[in-house]
Amino acid sequence: MLKYKLVVKEDCATCQLAIPVFRQLSLECKLDIYSQDNPEFPPELDVIDDLALEKSWALNIETVPTIIKYDDGQEIGRAYGWDRTEWEDLTGCSFPAELPDFRPGCGSKTMDPGMPEKLAVKFDLGNLRARQVQVADEEDDIEACFDRGWSDGLPVVPPTGIRVVRMLTGTHRDPQEVVGDVPPDYAECTIEKIAINAVLAGCKPEYLPVVITAVEAALQDEFCMHGLLATTYFSGPMVLVNGPISRAIGMNSKGNALGQGNRANATIGRALQLVIRNVGGGRPGGVDRAVFGNPGKYTYCFAEDEMNSCWDSLAVEKGFSAQQSTVTLFAADGMQGIVDQKSREPESLARTFAAGLRVVSHPKMVMAADAFLVVSPEHERVFRQANWSKQQLKDRLNELLLIPGEELVVGAGGIAEGVPQKLKDMPLPKFRDGGLNIVRAGGSAGLFSAIIGGWGATGKMGSIPVTREIVV
């Protein structure tokens, strides 16, 4: 059996124009009329009150008027605004000749600013499963988040239903998709749970795909998130973003890239840490037993300045194209600065870098921790002008960091720390094969670069950097 549903609003010039059409259809067809703003409109017709917009929301109305045709309860077509040909084809009716052939419709009230999120929460469509937490009227929302242990020590954004629904608009993925189990409690983590923590962190919806990918990277076995949490070492997850998405969401890869001031950098890294805390239970004083930690355990996230680089980006080195967006996760210490304001030749600057890299973890510790060398634009210019590729720089650094065993053994230099005496006659590399990564970032003024050392158990015996493509 054929049936029609019509959604209108009085405050729409096209709906006013089409009143004769509505009246004709009510006589010739089985028609339900829903009015978004006045249950007396259209006049002299049976109208269903949709002031709450529940029916409009359920019917996915974006424009009024909209007429929908059903056959045995199944939608078989719809028309928007007023288009004589479309309406006549849909209904099989002929409409008054004095009407114009076409008029665009108006925006549905369901599309008013902020309304989609409100309606999604009000008329629960089953997308959200998280437990609803009731906060007393006299409670301060932010203090309530502190009191319930959801904060990393800084104020968080209360994750209301509307905010979570709005955050989920940043991805096409199902809110109930399970991305994995988060250590140390190995609690099941869904896209919805990640979105809740992205709200807490202060993210925008467009950041959500990056946060999701960072969480997925953290849950890969080779990253060893549980071990990183449990270590007494300094390290925590560092998020490096490559590709078009870093520029689309306004990430900072230039001045102060490793500092404060950029919302995307700050909140993406924080969201990952909050997922580990709030979903997985990884809290300081519990499984997190770091002696010192480092400030990056609040957030540690930046983008590579790949558009201005003379070198392939890290993502391209890892086998992705320049058009793909990726997240690389690294078990990172704090930053160690390198100052070299005099080197104008690549050999001299490479030796400076090598001297700084020698002390990662400990000057006598080898093949234990990976490292990232973040080269500033002014330092990169030295290599650019000499036509040194990134691989040339890596090769030279690895040569300079092949250290005589006699300098590394226990007791050498009056230092008890060191490798066994049996290695005294062997030259040993500072880093495992592939353990040194180089990226370009930072401000355009300043002959400085940075070393970010890794967890003492990075490498094959612990955590290795993980790179994943970002999927929206």
Per-residue pLDDT of 9-21, as tens digits, reads 999 999 999 999 9
pLDDT of residue 136: 85
- HEC assignment per residue over 369-419: CCEEEEECHHHHHHHHHCCCCHHHHHHHHHHHCEECHHHCECCHHHCCCCE
Burial label for 88, CB within 10 Å (0-12, 13-18, 19+), is middle
The domain over range 2-112 is classified in CATH as 3.30.70.360: no
pLDDT of residue 302: 98
- Tell me the per-residue pLDDT of 338-384, one tens digit each, with 9 for 90 and over: 999 999 999 999 999 999 999 999 999 999 899 999 999 999 999 99
pLDDT at 129: 80
Of the listed ranges 126-130, 252-256, 368-372, the one predicted with least confidence: 126-130
- Kindly state the average pLDDT of the residues 172-196: 96
Residue 230, pLDDT above cutoff 80:
yes
DSSP 292: S
Determine contact, residues 351/397, Cβ cutoff 8 Å.
no
pLDDT tier for residue 126 given thresholds of 50, 70 and 90 = low
pLDDT at residue 419 above 70?
yes
With cut-offs at 50, 70 and 90, classify the pLDDT of residue 459: low
* Per-residue confidence (pLDDT) for residue 124, from 0 to 100: 67
Q: Provide φ and ψ at 386, rounded to 5°.
A: -95, 5
At residue 273, does pLDDT exceed 80? yes
Q: Which single residue is written with the structure tokens 């049976």?
A: 46
**Against a cut of 0.85, is the pTM above it?**
yes
For the chain, the straight-line distance linking the first and the last C-alpha, in angstroms and rounded, comes to: 41
DSSP string, 124-149: T-S---SPPPP--TTS-HHHHHHHTT
Return the domain boundaries, the chain.
2-112, 143-469
pLDDT at 54: 96
Q: What percent of the chain has pLDDT over 90?
A: 92
Question: Which among 451, 470, 465 has a CA at the least distance from the CA of 238?
Answer: 465
* Average pLDDT over the chain, rounded to an integer: 95
- Backbone angle region of 114, left / alpha / beta, with phi > 0 → left and psi within -120 to 50 → alpha: left
Q: How confident is the model at residue 456, as a pLDDT?
A: 80
Q: If pLDDT is split at 50, 70 and 90, which confidence band does 457 have?
A: confident
User: Residue 2: what are its φ and ψ, rounded to 5°?
Assistant: -80, 140
Residue the block writes with tokens 């080779």: 222
* pLDDT at 67 exceeding the cut of 60: yes
Is a pLDDT exceeding 70 seen at residue 458?
Answer: no
* Residue-level pLDDT at 259: 95
Q: Which of 83-97, 121-135, 378-392, 409-423 has the least mean pLDDT?
A: 121-135
Q: Is the pLDDT of residue 152 over 90?
A: yes
Give the strand pairing for 66-71 and 63-64. Answer: unpaired
